[in-house]
Amino acid sequence: MTETRLTKYSHGAGCACKLGPSELSDLLGPIRGHPATTHPSLEVGLDTGDDAGVFSIGEGRSLVQSVDIFTPVVDSPRDWGRIAGANALSDLYAMGAEPLTALQFLAWPRDQLPFATASDVMAGGMELMEAAGCTVVGGHSIDGPEPTYGFAVTGIAPSDGVVTNAGAKPGDVLILTKPLGIGIITTAIKRGIAPDDVVKTAIGAMAALNDVAGSELRVHGATAATDVTGFGLAGHLLEMCSASGVGAEIDFDRVPVIEGALELLERGAWAGGSQRNLKSVRGSIKTDLPDAAMRLLADAQTSGGLLVALPAERAAAYAAAVGGWEIGRLSDGDGIALS
Ligand code: CO
């Protein structure tokens, strides 16, 4: 019996199956401002493209909530479950919140894949939630054409300690806490061309919690933060730039990339979602660098790192505390200058 290759059942790779920024904006257009999306206690809602919603519950505390589900990014059920857990929680960490509870969601093609495989996926999810100290309180499962898994998560934060993507200032330094290349590698996994050691590194990166990167935000006075997922570094950085009214200067030599990813990109491992990303960000990036640099910046990440803006004098201490890389700084222009 051959091992089940989960990625065979997935049309897109992880967060690369997310709708594009302009598609999302069109889709949400008709419900923007709807009474159901407004409330006096709502601090961060649908309007800002932030990682999670924030709702004040009084006494200086806020609920921080997000949901993230996706199709298989790797072939191992347990690893996929771990990655789905880390990815869902990442939106809470990106806002400076501490995870509290989670609801699990599973869609499963019952005629094509055994339920035992789904149990392995969930075991991976539980492993991550336990590590994060997040209690799984329930969930929902359906029979569906593609295996799909993830969580709706709720965290809690001091209301004055929530970090959005809108507070960055010109001169702030940008720190990235995980290397890029994940979309390229997961696409290569799906095609069966990714070397084992590269896969192992990518799984390690995707399944790593952004917990420390999140809890250190307030300690070091971060002005803005987001996690890098389906829109790629460039897409999420541009969201931060437009929400904060700043531009960004990125030093490409300092951007961390998983070893082996560039070679796989040259071999054509390039996700559909990343192509859409590149189309939507190209006009906002000024650069003389070869196309591969732009592609890496547009590469759709699954469970990527936090992208954090901090005052220049505090950035090095944050980077040291969380094991991050300084990749550039913010300016008073607009768009991204990549050199
Ligand atoms: Co996010």
pLDDT tens digits, residue range 255-306? 999 999 999 999 999 998 899 999 999 999 999 999 999 999 999 999 999 9
137 C-alpha to ligand 1 centroid (Å): 22
Of 329, 132, 321, 339, nearest to 217 by C-alpha is 321
Dist. CA 231 → ligand 1 center (Å): 9
What is the CA 182 to chain-centroid distance, rounded?
Answer: 11
Instruction: Report pLDDT digits (tens) over 35-89.
Output: 999 999 999 999 888 999 999 999 999 999 999 999 999 999 999 999 999 999 9
pLDDT in tens, 179-227: 999 999 999 998 999 999 999 999 999 999 999 999 999 999 999 999 9
Euclidean distance between CA atoms 94 and 51, whole angstroms: 7
Q: What is the mean pLDDT of residues 89-114?
A: 97
Distance from residue 116's CA to the centre of ligand 1 (Å): 30
User: Cα-Cα-Cα-Cα dihedral of 130, 209, 156, 307, to 10°?
Assistant: -170
Span from the CA of 229 to the centroid of ligand 1 (angstroms): 6
The residues, any chain, with a CB within 8 Å of residue 33's CB and separated by 6 or more, are none
**Arithmetic mean of pLDDT over the chain:** 94
Q: Ligand 1 centre from 114 Cα, in Å?
A: 31
* Bridge partner list, 107: 142, 148
pLDDT value at 1 more than 50: no
Dist. CA 113 → ligand 1 center (Å): 30
What Cα–Cα distance (Å) separates residue 323 from each residue in 10, 234, 259?
32, 21, 17
8 Å CB contact between 227 and 306:
yes
Model pLDDT, residue 12: 67
DSSP code string of 3-25? PP-GGGG-SS-GGGGSPPHHHHH
2: confidence class by pLDDT, cuts 50, 70, 90: very low
Rounded distance between C-alpha atoms, residue 281 and residue 248, angstroms: 13
Q: How far apart are CA 135 and CA 132, in angstroms?
A: 9
Looking at residue 47, its pLDDT comes to 82
What is the predicted pLDDT for the residue at 315? 98
Burial of 3 (0-12, 13-18, 19+ CB in 10 A): exposed
Which spans in the chain are helix H? 21-28, 77-94, 115-132, 182-191, 196-207, 211-219, 232-244, 261-266, 272-281, 291-298, 312-322
93 Cα–ligand 1 center, Å: 9
C-alpha 111 to ligand 1 mean position (Å): 33
Which of 15, 17, 134, 241 is catalytic? The answer is 15
Contact between residue 209 and residue 128 where contact means Cβ atoms under 8 Å apart? yes
- Both tokens of 54, joined, read 């924030």
- Tell me which residue of 186, 171, 219, 199 sits closest to 328, measured CA to CA: 171
In the annotation, is 15 catalytic?
yes
